[in-house]
Structure formats: structure tokens, C-alpha cells
Structure 1
């Protein structure tokens, strides 16, 4: 791999001559970062993480837990106090 003649400092791997197959397989190494797409991706990931956290909170608030019966099956049982 040799450097192109019209490369500038800071080009990194873009300045190396590579095959078209390598460029196709490693597309993300050759494209410039797109701020709009990165922001949309971060919003999507944050939204999914927030939704999963919300669902876990709501599930734990219901008070059910997985209890394993003597025959090995799993049953969801509501938490109760010994004082009830």
C-alpha cells in the first residue's frame, strides 16, 4: 500500500491506495462523519435505552418475582409480606 500523490495531512487511511473490494468492505473508514446521522442515532439509542429502563421500572413496581416450584417449573408470584 502506497500513498496517493494528492493526499493531505490528516487524511489517515483515505490516503492509502487500496482495492475497491477493501473500500466496499470497510465503507465506514472512507466516508466523512455526518453530524445529522450521528445525532439521530444517539437519539434513537437514548430513546430505546430510556424505554427499556421505563419498562423495567414498571415491571418491578408490579411486585412479581420468578419462583421455581418443586417440580422445576417457573411461576411468577406476587410478593407478599409475612405479616399479611
Structure 2
């Protein structure tokens, strides 16, 4: 007897080798596509750039003597540090 399923499974296929519904494939798209190195590199560069900018801005405000304070209405503001000794 000849088998109808003559598909060869390759190690590392994982969930792609299982039978699934089109809805499952649409909802879990990232499980069925191969990783794209260029998009991954661009994402890493963007995330690193954003984190670096946040760190830079925080160090800039701290070196100028500002700190973040939460106001009574819930907004965040930057206030200048004031020494209690100079008052």
C-alpha cells in the first residue's frame, strides 16, 4: 500500500509539520514563517536607539539637578533639586 502523506519531515520543522486549521495559522502567524534577519536587525537597532535615548535624557536631567516628581493630579513633572541647607 502506498501512503497518501508522502511529505518528508525535516528536524526543526516543529509545529509547521503538524496539521492545523487556517484560522490557527492566521492567528499564530509567527509560528509558521521563517525568521527574517534584516527585520530582526532593524528591530534591535530601533529598540537599542530608543533605550539609549531614554538613558541619555535621564542622565542629562539628573546632571542638571532635576528629578521627576508626581503631582497631586497624577502628572509627572521635572523639578529642580533644592537643598534644605540653603533655604
Query: Residues 5-64 of structure 1: CA distance to partner in whole angstroms, max 9, x if unpaired?
Result: 412222100000100000000000000011111100000000000000011111112212
Match of 1:40 among 39, 42, 53: 42
Q: Which protein, 1 or 2, shows the higher relative CO under an 8 Å CA cutoff with sep ≥ 6?
A: 1
Give the TM-score normalised by the residue count of structure 1.
0.74
**Cα–Cα, structure 1 residues 67 and 33, in superposed 2: closer, same or farther, change >3 Å?**
closer
Give secondary structure in 2 for the equivalent of 1:48: helix
Structure 2 unaligned blocks of 5 or more: none
**Cα–Cα, structure 1 residues 17 and 57, in superposed 2: closer, same or farther, change >3 Å?**
same
Give the TM-score normalised by the residue count of structure 2.
0.72
CA RMSD across the alignment? 2.6
Match of 1:25 in 2: 27
Match of 2:17 among 5, 15, 18: 15
Question: How does 1:1-84 map onto structure 2 within 5 Å?
Answer: 5-6=6-7, 7-65=9-67, 66=69, 77-81=79-83, 82=85
Structure 1 unaligned blocks of 5 or more: none
**Cα–Cα, structure 1 residues 67 and 43, in superposed 2: closer, same or farther, change >3 Å?**
closer
| Poorly superposed stretches of 4+, deviation over 3 Å | 65-68, 72-77
